[in-house]
Structure 1
Amino acid sequence: MTTAPLRVAVVGLGYWGPNLVRNLRELPEAEVALVCDRRPEALAALARRYPGVPTTTRLERVLADDSVAAVAIATPVSTHYSLAAAALAAGKHVFVEKPLAASSAGAADLVEQADRRELILMPGHTFLYSPPVNAIKTLIDAGELGEIYFISTSRVNLGLHQSDVSVAWDLGPHDFSILRYWLAETPEYVSALSRCCVFPQMPDVAFVDLEFPSGTIAHSELSWLAPSKLRRTTIVGSQKMIVYDDTSNEPVRIFDSGVMLSNPSTFGEYQLSYRTGDIVSPRVEVAEPLLLELRDFCAAIRSGRAPRSSAELGLEVVRMIEAVDASLERNGARVKVAEALTPVAA
């Protein structure tokens, strides 16, 4: 017996919304039931590309349609909480682009609402579905790298500047969600420095340090003001090291390199042994992460299990970004993540 496709409504046709529509149309388990945007011209452009897809400028029509099982939200961050809350109240499963909400209070409230109504709430942390990211996750979980000493990430480009959120809220969710996924823990402390180079009071470059309970430390460079696009992460372990470059044809390179410290047999000096071994570039599956992400969303709805990009993970990422903001307000002070919470839902 075949199962009817899940009817999904897409809300928001800015930069990311059309990508949601395109990928949902490629999934046999999903159907684009309705597309909503306040701008008639955006809906007209979509209709020219996908004739026959129903459109509306009224969110009320989406929420009142009992045939719509889920809503995918791709709107400005400031609207995530109100739109997701309205969809959950209408009994819809919700996929919402990162970050989950503009405050930890709002994100926590959405998580509670979804749990109470037994609905799937999924933040769009697309990199958790990237084949290179998952290849690295497999290596870390298998202990191939040994103890993870530190991770350094650079996510920079010339643009795109946002006028409503800082670079930490725009780019930070990518690296913070990846770190949380790889290490299976949330940082205990965060410290950050930033500068507003273009827009007053809107940081467009940030340097973030994160300290994890296991002892792993991480440094994240985020910028809209760089001469070229860079998406590079270095992971240094006690046994091996990895360079992950999202812009390379060989996105994952494993270095069998390290340093050994030998105890002296007498009262002499400690002996250091440097190891420089092979460099391996494993074959990595080629697949569009967004397609895999939306497939997981549909599977989670059908099975009732949490998706890989869970609501709880999304809440933790928002708390990490708030800790960055708290550190910036204190001139780069070291901030405890659990104590840097915004009390007002947004």
Structure 2
Amino acid sequence: MSKDYVDYMVEETRKILAIDSPSGYTREVADYVMEEYKKLGYEPQLTVKGGILVAIGGRDKENAVQLEAHIDTLGAMVAEIKSNGRLRVTAVGGMNANNAEAENCKVITRFNGNYEGTLQLINASIHVNDEYDGIKRSYDSVEVILDENVKTKKDTEKLGIMTGDFVCFDPRTTVTKSGYIKSRFLDDKLSVGILLGYAKYLKEENVTPERMIYQHITVFEEVGHGGAASIPEGVTEVISVDMGCVGEGLACDETQVSICAKDSHGPYHYDVVSGLIKAAKENNIDFAVDVYPHYGSDADVALTAGYDVRHGLIGAGVYASHGYERSHVDGVKNTFELLKAYLG
């Protein structure tokens, strides 16, 4: 049974990853996810900010749980059309320029369609640029080269490109025969796929959890305020389902579900973390508990916004965060199983 749901979650993740959605440009992907909830038999609501809020069932509405994942991603925005027709860009969220270098991208104009291009180091030909190796990569040392015959600022302006247009990077999604899921923006579209899978499981298996469960798909997490609103009355616990960190000094790998005990904002609620660990142990779920050194979640933001709730953070292990990321179908499965075990 779990394999069928995992296959669904991976396939939905693929579909969501294929829809560009840097923070601030998320309506198309939100529309897709809204329709998927409706197909599952739910009644999602679009929040004023553009996120999705949906009740997926449960008995106790006075002690409800809200699960949060985000569909907004990293990206860039046109900051200047240069005299040679190329584009200076500014980051949307935390993608490092050295990680985005040489990636294909799209420029989304407001009124004149989309144009393809590549983010490249300025003077990117290594046979010409004597300083190539020593140049510090930043958004001042890279530029978007359009796949259009433009040579001047006026040429580019004639295409309808202007300052403030979004730049979306190619996710390059692939799933290997061995079960590894590789793509940009698994943070956090993989978790959105998992939440859809959990909602599908409750509906199809006719499961009614003890506590009412809401799912909130946020759209401004990467810029810091995704979870700052839209928590219904009666919610006493918020759990972010986001990527689990994988790296040196941490225990989690891509095949596990990570339970975060503390991130850069501070400890998660002791009872929530303990309950998640207990559920994982009692159900033989492959998990790790970690402390994330550079991390903030939608659950953190909910507390910062003043909500009086307990908070937690889990997620499938993801390596190379904010770069070309990698997870595994077993990490998806273990995250799904932990939601089932903890929430019922």
Coarse TM-score class (shorter-chain normalised): under 0.3
* Greater helix content: 1
Q: TM-score, normalised by structure 2?
A: 0.27
Superposition TM-score, scaled by structure 1 size? 0.27
Structure possessing the higher radius of gyration over alpha carbons: 1
